[in-house]
Amino acid sequence: MPTARAGVRSPVLVLTIMIFASGASILSTDLYAPTLPHLPAYFGTDAATVQLTMALNLGAYALAQLIWGPLADRFGRRGIFVLGMGAFALTVVAAALSQTIGQLIVARVLMGAAASVEAVLVLAVIGDLYEGEKSAKVFAIYGMVISLVPAAGPIIGGFVFEWFGWRANFYLLAGIVVLVFALGLARLPETLPTAERTALRLREIVVGYGQLLSRGAFVSVSLTLGLAIGAIFAYLTEAPFILIDIHGVATRYFGLYQAVIVLAFFIGSLVASRVVARIGVRRLFAVGVWSGSLSGLLVIIAVAVGETPATLTAAMSVFAFALGPLFATAPVLAFERIPDQGRGMSAAMLSTFEMGGGALGALFVSLTPQGTAWPLAICVSGSGLLLLVFGLLALRPKWRDTPPAR
């Protein structure tokens, strides 16, 4: 583990708690995903309405970060973390108690808004503790560790569903979130010194976000990540219906296919962590952009020749492997030359782009015809091509020299 900046005690403990929080947030999707094809019959609705529980959850997750970021810059990381995790636990229980699809949609929206606190704080806290290539290496290690969660989540979720029903997954998640809340309350130190905190004024918040949006490189990197996340969540939203409903994969085995994809991302992140110091952040980002774009085309090829669970998983695995370098380096480039005092806001804006892309990807496959893998293939391949455009724009020297936000 790289050495942290001076002045922060127990950086490994801080990162461990952040990883647990991210894991809980990921499980809110991955424990739930295998149950999606079974909920239309339970609630007496259609697949598109059930898929809205994913798309709107991600939309709330994206937008709420614009609030969490300024709060974390004003009041520090620890208190906001505890507040967000407490709200997260309550919304998970509300989802478990839902009696109608409308109640479940509302609970999922509130869950996304609460869970998003971890996305802001992970980016901000790593930025508080590390910088430059050290930061890129920590992001890569973080990506490797956290990728184990979506590997295990759908497997666990599938078995829990078959044994105990869909509500049991939410009760399991509630217990995990309460544990993370307790860890944060008892052991999480503050990483943002009082002297570096900013005032909470609406005008300054609006101006601050406006300045971030005026930075070409920041916006391009953020859009690149958003497109990658959009492709991933399009898969997470549509794959249960493709594999379980169309191809007859048993619910309890659905997670095994996703585990292969996650393993590919893990290996990609591992490679990125090993080579970033040797080739540099910018070159590694360029590798991720090009490989992510080209590998996205494999998904549309797999569907064009008649996809099977194996070929679709193989194509998505290559795409996931290619994203390892991208996710390790993009946050470093996005935060480049941004003052420490605005890191919470910049983390919020970056993650809003990411999860906004996820929401749009999930919404796209929800609103397009069901019973075919073509919407997923178009979304992943199209995202890959746009990812190349914005990734190359982010590397333009003219945009890299944009003055820092103030």
CB 394 within 8 A of CB 286: no
pLDDT digits (tens, 9 = 90+) for 280-293: 888 899 998 999 89
Residues 6+ apart with CB under 8 A from 332: 132, 133, 135, 136, 139, 281
Sign of CA dihedral 242, 248, 251, 252: negative
- Sequence spans of domains, the chain: 11-188+200-400
Which of 188-197, 260-269, 308-317 has the highest average model confidence (pLDDT)? Answer: 308-317
The share of the chain scoring above pLDDT 70, in percent, equals: 93
**Alpha-helical regions (H) of 241-342:** 251-279, 281-304, 309-334
Q: Is the pLDDT of residue 92 over 90?
A: yes
Summary mean pLDDT of the chain? 87
Q: What are phi and psi of 199, to 5 degrees?
A: -70, 150
CATH (one of 2.40.420.20, 1.10.8.80, 1.10.10.10, 1.20.1250.20) for 11-188+200-400: 1.20.1250.20
Residue 44 is classified by DSSP as: T
Q: How many CB atoms lie within 10 A of CB 164?
A: 12
pLDDT at 7: 56
pLDDT band for 20, please (50, 70, 90 cuts).
very high
Q: Is the pLDDT of residue 331 over 60?
A: yes
CA distance linking residue 358 with residue 148, whole number of Å: 20
pLDDT band for 8, please (50, 70, 90 cuts).
low
Q: Please choose, from the candidates 93, 82, 177, the residue with its C-alpha nearest in 3D space to the C-alpha of residue 121.
A: 82
Q: Please choose, from the candidates 328, 313, 311, the residue with its C-alpha nearest in 3D space to the C-alpha of residue 264.
A: 313
DSSP code per residue over 212-229: HHT-HHHHHHHHHHHHHH
- What pTM does this model have? 0.82
Q: Is the pLDDT of residue 6 over 50?
A: no
pLDDT at 35: 94
Least confident residue range of 231-240, 288-297, 368-377, 390-399: 390-399
